[in-house]
Amino acid sequence: MSNPLSKVTAALLAVVLLFLVPAVQSAQREEDIRYLSAYHLMVQFADAVRNKGYVSDTMYEDFTRELETKGSLYDIEFEHRHKKYHPEYGDPADSGTFQGRFSVIYDAYYTQDVMNVLFPDSPTTADEDERKYLLHEGDFFTVTVLDRSRSPLKMLSGWLYGDVARAGGSLFTYGGMVLNEDY
């Protein structure tokens, strides 16, 4: 006579192999496709900003609308580093002590600074040109997208591996130097 414990173990193993493994693999493929699509949209948006030299409210709204169609909740963050050149002096009070070189300093502006220009509090500045966040050639612009949703893969993995409390999302970052001022 066979052991009833081995039959139960075999039945559980069969359920795992026949149902859960394909479900996890399918969820993994679905999540990979979502992430690739979101990354592609982020690259398109960041390259458009770098090539045009500005962010407009319509560009931002189109980008967020396209991200929403992917079925996840994303947090979007911007970083704009503006390049400045400062002359170096031996004595800052005396302009005759210029040392013949310049130092490069970056002023950083983040998401809230960009949003204040794109969507101002006062409705009087509804002009299209006033609602553009302008960048300059040589500046750096970076977009970061963080996935905040609970995908089927995260739920299955949490159930199978026991890390249900894990709420972290995937992080995508893309950007580079502004190439043009097309405004």
pLDDT per position as a tens digit, 81-140? 998 988 888 888 888 888 888 888 899 999 999 999 988 887 655 566 778 999 999 999
CB-count burial class (<10 Å; 0-12, 13-18, 19+) for 143: buried
Alpha helices (H) along the chain: 4-15, 21-52, 57-68, 111-118, 152-161
Residue indicated by tokens 């399918």: 26
pTM to 2 decimals?
A: 0.79
Q: CA dist 30 to 10, 26, 47, 145, Å? A: 29, 6, 26, 18
CB-count burial class (<10 Å; 0-12, 13-18, 19+) for 83: middle
pLDDT given at position 125: 54
With left for phi above 0 and alpha for psi between -120 and 50, is residue 71 left, alpha or beta? left
- Domain edges within the chain: 4-177
C-alpha to C-alpha distance for 174 and 167, rounded to whole angstroms: 23
What DSSP designation does 69 have?
Answer: T
Structure tokens at 46: 């960041």
pLDDT given at position 127: 63
